[in-house]
Amino acid sequence: MDKSRPVGLFEPARLTAVVFLALILTGTLLLMMPFSTAGPQWAPFLPSLFTATSAVSLTGLTVVDTGTYWTPLGQGIILALIQLGGLGIMSLASLSGLILTGRVSFRARQTGAAEGRPVTQGGIRRTLIFTVAFTLVVELLVAVILTLRFMVSYDHTFRRAVWEGVFHSVSAFNNAGFSTNTDNLIPFAADAWVLMPLAAALIGGGLGFPVWAELVRLTRRSQVRVHRISITARMTLTATAFLLFTGAIFMAFAEWNGVFGDMPVWQRVLNAFFASATSRTAGFNTFDYGEAHPITLMGTDILMFIGGGSAGTAGGVKVTTACVLIAAMAAEFLGREDTSIGHRTLPRSVTRQSLALAFAGVAVVTAGIGALRIFDPQFSGDEVSFEVMSAFATVGLSTGITAELSAPSQVILCLIMYLGRVGPTTLIAALAATAVSRRFRYPEERPFIG
């Protein structure tokens, strides 16, 4: 046996899956305590589990009203779970070790990569420090803007404005979609001073920390040349801009005379852009998706499944995966031997990983839809598909059926949210951590395809 490879519980992928599960269970117990709920009784297990899973997985689906069901302390617990889920509990543990000992072990590097924080240029120390510092700076900046806006335009007291600003800022940057308002961001549908900072935060968090680290490093140089930017950054930035633009056009086209019908033109444009941005990552909503056209739900499903950038706070299969699959299809159609993007040839292992991740995502979503259709046949296929896709992509948008689902369906959504946060490939790697690699190959035979 290879002694250099960690096995058992402490294998990086398995450790990551276990730690996130432990964080969810801890959050569940805290939310069940009397000090977490506004009512006289303890919160039941299932609503607490669902809320904790949604917070840690950065999803935003809820079965109870965040602003009224939970006390300020309960909301603080939810906010802490969001922050821990966004930064990554293993990344924070590695940073603590760095502060205390001045070094980070090789195993910490492995767990950081398994958790979605691969080491960027400059080493693990710089990666960890940049991740935490960038997160806190962006969250503070957006919180200040929102606090001022809430005080000036909504007559909030200073204390309430600060809390609302901090809560929504952290929720936005971590792409969680939680709001203390009963109807989410619908009261701010006409307020660009609230929606645009939140959109900037959720887009920024959704790009991924490696991309931001690379952009910051490049801006320190005299010139920023395209060929110096990594293929990951190029794919992420290009795909994000494309999806934001086309998504906004799609939303405006689908709902111009629908849910946007009573809005002025500028507000329709604003809400179409915000819906495009939040559909791939955050889960905030400025209109009722239960009243949206079925084509809007279908288009949003696609945006949610693609998701955002790698090693960030967004969910989905990630834009880089989509880019690799499109490039692989183009290469196959054109009869090329290699798959290439931006004058770079991609390793075949990358194509295989992308195919595996996309297929695993489709399998999880399909199984989830089937299960919910069995347990809750009263809801339409559009509603169920939207709910399951939102859970898998850790988005948090809903047509309003989450709280009305049966207990088995809510448990299934918890599992899907957990899978979406940990990642199907990471969980598979965790389950197969002790597998022994084969030292032989079978004879080759080519089957007919298509």
**What pLDDT is stored for residue 424 in this prediction?**
62
Q: What would the pLDDT profile of 109-153 be if each residue is shown by its tens digit? A: 544 544 444 544 445 666 677 778 888 999 999 999 999 999 999
- Closest-CA residue to 57 (of 421, 425, 427): 421
**What pLDDT is stored for residue 395 in this prediction?**
93
Using the predicted structure, report yes or no on whether residue 231 has a pLDDT greater than 90.
no
Using the predicted structure, report yes or no on whether residue 100 has a pLDDT greater than 80.
no
**What pLDDT is stored for residue 441 in this prediction?**
77
Longest dimension (CA), the chain: 74
Label residue 58 left, alpha or beta by phi (over 0 means left) and psi (-120 to 50 means alpha). left
pLDDT greater at residue 100 or residue 233:
233
Using the predicted structure, report yes or no on whether residue 251 has a pLDDT greater than 80.
yes
* Pair 418, 20: CB distance under 8 Å: yes
**What pLDDT is stored for residue 281 in this prediction?**
81
**What pLDDT is stored for residue 101 in this prediction?**
42
Q: Which long-range contacts (CB under 8 A, 24 or more apart) does 105-113 make?
A: 107/6, 107/10, 107/12, 110/6, 110/12, 111/12, 111/15, 111/16, 112/88, 113/12
| pLDDT confidence bin for 99, thresholds 50/70/90 | very low
Range name among 281-295, 366-380, 413-427, 434-448 with the lowest pLDDT average: 434-448
Using the predicted structure, report yes or no on whether residue 27 has a pLDDT greater than 50.
yes
Mean pLDDT of 400-412: 95
Backbone angles phi, psi at 213, to 5 degrees: -60, -40
Range name among 10-24, 31-45, 111-125, 147-161 with the lowest pLDDT average: 111-125
Mean pLDDT of the chain: 84
Q: Which residue has the tokens 């199984």?
A: 367
- Closest-CA residue to 146 (of 172, 119, 113, 116): 172
Mean pLDDT of 290-304: 95
Tokens of 322: 């989509």
| pLDDT confidence bin for 13, thresholds 50/70/90 | low
Using the predicted structure, report yes or no on whether residue 89 has a pLDDT greater than 70.
no
| pLDDT confidence bin for 45, thresholds 50/70/90 | very high
Tokens of 15: 């450790």
Distances (CA, A) of 188 to 153, 171, 284, 355, 383: 11, 16, 11, 40, 25
Q: What would the pLDDT profile of 421-437 be if each residue is shown by its tens digit? A: 887 656 555 545 445 55
**What pLDDT is stored for residue 5 in this prediction?**
46
Q: What would the pLDDT profile of 320-368 be if each residue is shown by its tens digit? A: 999 999 999 999 898 888 888 888 888 888 888 888 889 989 999 999 9
Q: What percent of the chain has pLDDT over 90?
A: 57
Report pTM: 0.86
Using the predicted structure, report yes or no on whether residue 8 has a pLDDT greater than 60.
no
Mean pLDDT of 181-196: 94
Mean pLDDT of 440-447: 78
pLDDT greater at residue 392 or residue 4:
392
**What pLDDT is stored for residue 148 in this prediction?**
96
Cα-to-chain-centroid distance, residue 255: 25
Mean pLDDT of 6-31: 77
